[in-house]
Amino acid sequence: MSGGQAVIWTAKEAAAATGGVARCGWTAAGISIDTRALKKGELFVALKGDARDGHEFVKDALEKGAACLVSRIPEGVDESAPLLVVKDTFMALQDLGRASRYRTGAKIIAVTGSVGKTGTKEMLAAAFGALGQTHASKASHNNHWGVPLSLAGMHAGCDYGVFEIGMNHPGEIGPLSRMAQPHVAIITTVAGVHMEHFESVRQIADAKAEIFEGMDHSGIAVLNRDNEWFAHLKAKAETQGVKVYGFGDHDESDARLVDCLEAANGSRIKAKIMGEDVVFTLLMPGYHIALNALAVLLAVKLAGGDVRKAVKALEKIEPIAGRGLREYINIGDPKNPVTLIDESYNASPVAMKAAFKVLALIDPGRGGRRIAVLGDMLELGKDSPKMHADLALPLQAADVQLVYTCGPLMKNLHNAMPQDRRGAHGKDSVELASIVPDVLTPGDVVMVKGSHGSKMGLVVEALRTLPDKLRKKVDNAL
User: What secondary structure, in 3-state letters, does 165-180 show?
Assistant: CCCCCCCCHHHHHHHH
Residues 71 and 196 in one domain: no
Instruction: Give the domain extent around 459.
Output: 325-476
Could you tell me if 401 and 445 are in contact, meaning their C-beta atoms sit under 8 angstroms apart? Answer: no
Q: What is the DSSP letter of 437?
A: G
Which of the residues in the chain have pLDDT under 70?
Answer: 1-4, 471-478
pLDDT at 3: 47
CA nearest 237: which of 218, 257, 256? 218
What is the rounded CA–CA span in Å between residue 122 and residue 117?
9
Question: Please, which residues have CB within 8 angstroms of residue 125's CB and are 6 or more apart in sequence?
Answer: 134, 136, 162
Domain assignment present for residue 134? The answer is yes
C-alpha count within 13 angstroms, C-beta hemisphere, residue 362: 31
CB distance 211 to 248 below 8 Å: no
Q: What CATH number corresponds to the domain at position 85?
A: 3.40.1390.10
Q: Are residues 357 and 426 in the same domain?
A: yes
Same domain? 257 vs 342:
no
How many residues are there in the chain? 478
The pTM (predicted TM-score) of the whole model is 0.91
**CATH code where residue 143 lies:** 3.40.1190.10
Pairing of strands 107-112, 27-28: unpaired
| E strand segments, 58-102 | 67-70, 83-85
- In whole angstroms, what is the distance from residue 243 CA to residue 228 CA? 19
The DSSP code for 2 is -
- Asked if 453 contacts 380 with a C-beta cutoff of 8 angstroms, the reply is no
Residue 357 contacts residue 398 (beta carbons within 8 Å): yes
Domain boundary, last residue among 270, 288, 314: 314
Which amino acid type is present at position 216? D
**How many Å apart are CA 173 and CA 453, to the nearest integer?**
22
Task: Examine the domain organization and report whether 304 and 333 are in the same domain.
Answer: no
Domain identity same for 399 and 460: yes
Tell me, yes or no, whether 351 and 292 share the same domain: no
Alpha carbons 42 and 326: distance in angstroms, whole number: 33
Sign of CA dihedral 471, 475, 477, 478: positive
* Final residue in a domain of this structure, among 23, 56, 89: 89
Q: Tens of pLDDT along 214-244?
A: 999 999 999 999 999 999 999 999 999 999 9
Residues 75, 172 within the same domain: no
Give φ, ψ of 22 to 5 degrees.
-90, 135
Query: How many domains does the chain fold into?
Result: 3
